[in-house]
Structure 1
Amino acid sequence: MIKGILFDLDGTLLDRDQSLLFFIQNQYNRIQALQRIEKQTFVQRFIELDQKGYVWKDKVYQQLFEEYNLDLNWEDLLEDYIQSFQYHCIGFPGLIEILDYLKGMNLKLGIISNGFGRFQMNNIRGLNIEDYFDEILISENEGLRKPDIKIFNRALDRLGLEPQETIFVGDHPVNDVDASIKAGMRGIWKEDNYFEKPSKDHLIIKDLIEIKDIIGSISG
């Protein structure tokens, strides 16, 4: 019997690729000093340096400043990113529909996300999904990062759930799927072509709404 579902945030609930593209284009349009670079060049180089979010933006902006000799402070662009990204957050298709469905089943819901506390909470609020979740654990606040199974165990303790009655959904084959399985949970990989397919025979979804079918098959 499944009693709870936990999610990763970036690449799982938040369509980070589209959100980042939306933000970068907006930042470029708003800040005149950036426009000495051709727009598509700036956007593409930012995305390359970002490396799917695994490089924090201080390093991204510093590298951009070095390469293009920009006439403004990189710290100002970083602060703009921290403050403004939340207004460009785009959820994956079916996000609200699946959360409504899961809450309707009286399942406990949680998020475990690596990242900075204020930034990630702003993005969760930007998606208008904070109220769906019973617990939200962000690595900076917890002093733990995925794939450390301690952060999964902490979430389970706070939710009052046993590992075997809990599903974890995430896009990273190691940090999300393998780690949650090691914690005793059922791991589901939300397929992302950026990563290699998990080496083991994991449950895989392409769209969030497919979680309905997985719950149905487990319950059945």
Structure 2
Amino acid sequence: MTAAVLFDLDETLLDRTTSLIAFLADQHNRFRSRLGYAAFEAWRDRFIAMDARGHTHKSVVYPTILAEFSGDPAAADDLLDDYRERCSSFARPFAGMAETLQELRSRGMYLGIITNGETAFQSRHIEALGLDRMVDAVLISQTEGLRKPDPALFERAAARLCAPASECLFIGDNPVADVLGAHNAGMSTAWFQCGRDWPADLPPPPGAVIERLSEVLALVDDVSAVR
């Protein structure tokens, strides 16, 4: 039985890469006189590479990329502040996000989000996508004082939804932080693959593998597929 469905945010509900590229185009246009000699395509590609899917803090990315392209070193703080304030304006969901959540809700599921990151920044993205009105609980690592893959964070989320971990399904894109973290907390899991390969140095995915959010709907009806 599945009583609750929980999701990661970045690259699971939020199409972070598409959203970030749209923001970077706008930011480059507004700050280009301070960014050195880089054309947008070069700036974008270097930023995406350094960002490493959000694993490198932008307080590191901006000074480094400005130095590489002979930009104004003093622009780093302004760019970081701009990123924190405006990035959420470009938030884009993955296809089927709202429809999938609405259908899960109609089936009586409790819904939640567990995300690593800074509270204000992640909250802006959650609100921009309307997720604050679609789910029952949001746990952000900075607020909770815990980070995925710590099983305690997943257990806390289950408790907030008044569901045992064994009756929770967690969907996320990160093999370690999301899938193995939730699995180790006793949850069923689904890896949101998005065309990527599972790391060869890890054991096989412990649950389902999906390419579209809409596939979650079949999983809640087929618990054996995600155990």
TM-score normalised by structure 1 residue count: 0.95
**Cα distance, 1:215 vs. partner?**
1.4
Tell whether 2:223 aligns with 1:218: yes
Secondary structure at 1:151 match in 2: helix
TM-superposed deviation, 1:65? 1.9
CA RMSD of aligned residues (A): 1.7
* Greater displacement, 34-43 / 18-27: 34-43
Partner SS, residue 23 of structure 1: helix
Note if 1:203 corresponds to 2:208.
yes
Moved more, 195-204 or 205-214: 195-204
CA distance in 1, matches of 2:38, 2:148: 37
> SS at 1:86's partner residue?
helix
Structure 1 counterpart of 2:3: 3
**Equivalent position SS for 1:5:** strand
- Runs of 4+ residues over 4 Å off in structure 1: none
The offset of 1:35, in angstroms, is 6.6
CA distance in 2: counterparts of 1:35 and 1:94, whole angstroms:
39
* Cα drift, residue 199 of structure 1: 2.6
Query: Cα distance, 1:112 vs. partner?
Result: 0.5
Between the aligned partners of 1:68 and 1:129, the Cα distance in structure 2 is: 37
Which is richer in helix? 1
Specify every segment of 5 or more residues in structure 2 that has no aligned partner in the other structure, as ranges: none
Residues 91, 127 of structure 1: 8 Å contact kept: yes
2:122 pairs with one of 96, 105, 120: 120
Residue correspondence of structure 1 range 52-201 to structure 2 within 5 A: 52-71=53-72, 72-194=74-196, 196-197=198-199, 199-201=203-205
CA spacing shift, 1:194–1:78, aligned 2, 3 Å:
farther
Deviation for aligned residue 1:41:
0.8
Q: Which amino acid aligns with 1:45?
A: R
Distance in 2 of aligned mates of 1:67 and 1:35: 9
Quickly say closer, same or farther: Cα 1:112–1:22, change in 2 above 3 A: same
Q: Partner residue of 2:28?
A: 28
Structure 1 CA distance, aligned partners of 2:185 and 2:145? 18
Q: Would the aligned equivalents of 1:111 and 1:136 in 2 still touch at CA under 8 Å?
A: yes
Q: 1-side partners of 2:67 and 2:32: how far apart?
A: 18
Please state how far the C-alpha of 1:76 moved relative to its aligned partner. 0.4
SS in 2 for 1:62: helix
Kindly tell me the number of residue pairs found equivalent between the two proteins. 220
Please give the residue correspondences for 1:42-53 in structure 2 after superposition, counting only pairs within 5 Å: 42-53=43-54
C-alpha change, 1:66 and 1:208, in structure 2 (3 Å) is same
Structure 1 residues 35 and 101: alpha-carbon distance in aligned structure 2, compared to 1, 3 A threshold: farther
Alpha-carbon shift at residue 194 of structure 1 (Å):
4.6
Q: Which moved more, 1:208-217 or 1:111-120?
A: 208-217
TM-score (norm 2): 0.92
SS of residue matched to 1:187: strand
